[in-house]
Amino acid sequence: MSFMPNLTYTMDKTYTFGIPVDKTNQLLFRTTRMLDGKWVWANTQKVYKNSASLRSSLYLKDVQFGVMLQDKSTLYNSSWDVCEQYHGNYPARPREKVTHFIFKGTAISRDMFTSSYKKDPCNFSKFQLNHLRYSKSIQKSFPNLMKLMKQKDTWLKLVNHKDKDAWTSTWADTTKYAVKNLVNYDSSWLIPKNAKAMELNVTIRPTNKRDTNGQSTIRTVFNHVLHGNSVYRLSRSHLRSHDTSGAAA
């Protein structure tokens, strides 16, 4: 009898995902079942023989990042000061001992993910945002206000102002890029600090083959505030510039 993984996914429950370092096109989901004392992992991109599969879009909050080692133990690291690999204070952890990049978080709704972004402070009123900047007749009715705003260079800021949410403020990285970009040249890992929210866009391909060719994508909302046109991204340069990376594993 074939063993089918349990693909139960419920709001407000904590779930763990993993990306194998040797098959970075895969996004794995740790199920609630155990076999021979070990957790059963399912491929999120696969539709199993019992027609079971996860939904194509998954959302998490309070996300922790880490790695899985060959002995199946997991290492989560959310502090930059715990192991500053780049200053040589601790020995390197060989890449071949790391089998998966992993992260876990609490399941949330799409709306909760959308509203998770901490917006830049907005000093404009609803009248200015919704009416004044779009209507020439209204602009003519408030000549003193228009003159003052142009003198203070706030008119251009109003015209260019865009309301941001988690979708417009994040970059969708493929699973392959996420793993590749978090491994340093010396084979050490740059582990992000905890993230506020995450969206997993799963590429589901009904197939009986062991591997799937599609790549799922990850959008991550960190806790720092964005400025200008910058976006959140699971990249080494972004993590370091905002001190959102933990120690190298």
**Residue 8 domain flag:** no
Q: In this structure, are 42 and 90 located in the same domain?
A: yes
Q: Are residues 140 and 63 in the same domain?
A: no
Predicted model pTM: 0.74
Residues 185 and 141 in one domain: no
**Do the beta carbons of residue 22 and residue 175 sit within 8 Å?**
no
227 and 138 assigned to the same domain:
no
Are 63 and 35 members of one domain? yes
Q: Are residues 109 and 212 in the same domain?
A: yes
- Residue 6: inside a domain, yes or no? no
Q: Kindly list the distances between the CA atom of residue 235 and the CA atoms of 30, 80, 220, in Å, as whole numbers in the listed order.
A: 25, 16, 11
Q: What confidence tens digit (pLDDT) does each residue in 5-17 have?
A: 677 788 999 999 9
Residues 209 and 170 in one domain: yes
Q: Give, in degrees to the nearest 5, the angle at Cα 193 between 192 and 199.
A: 70
Helix (H) or strand (E) holding 154: helix 154-160
Is residue 9 in some structural domain? Answer: no
Q: Residues 57-68: pLDDT tens digits?
A: 999 999 999 888
Q: What is the per-residue pLDDT for 5?
A: 67
Q: Which domain holds residue 153?
A: 126-160
Please check whether residues 105 and 32 belong to one and the same domain. Answer: yes
Residue 121 located in a structural domain: no
Whether residue 67 lies inside any domain: the answer is: yes
Beta 245-248 vs 38-43: how paired, if at all? unpaired
Same domain, 106 and 130: no
Sequence-distant (6+) residues with CB within 8 A of 118 are 196, 223, 225
Number of domains in the chain: 2
Whether residue 145 is found in the same domain as residue 24: no
Contact call for residues 65 and 24 (beta carbons, < 8 A): no
The pLDDT value given to residue 237: 77
Q: Considering the domain boundaries, does residue 4 fall inside one?
A: no
* Domain identity same for 203 and 227: yes
56 and 80 in a single domain? The answer is: yes
Cα–Cα separations (whole angstroms), residue 221 to 91, 192, 194: 31, 11, 10
pLDDT tens track for 111-165: 999 888 866 667 888 899 889 999 999 999 999 999 999 988 899 888 887 777 8
Per-residue confidence at 204, pLDDT binned at 50, 70, 90?
A: low
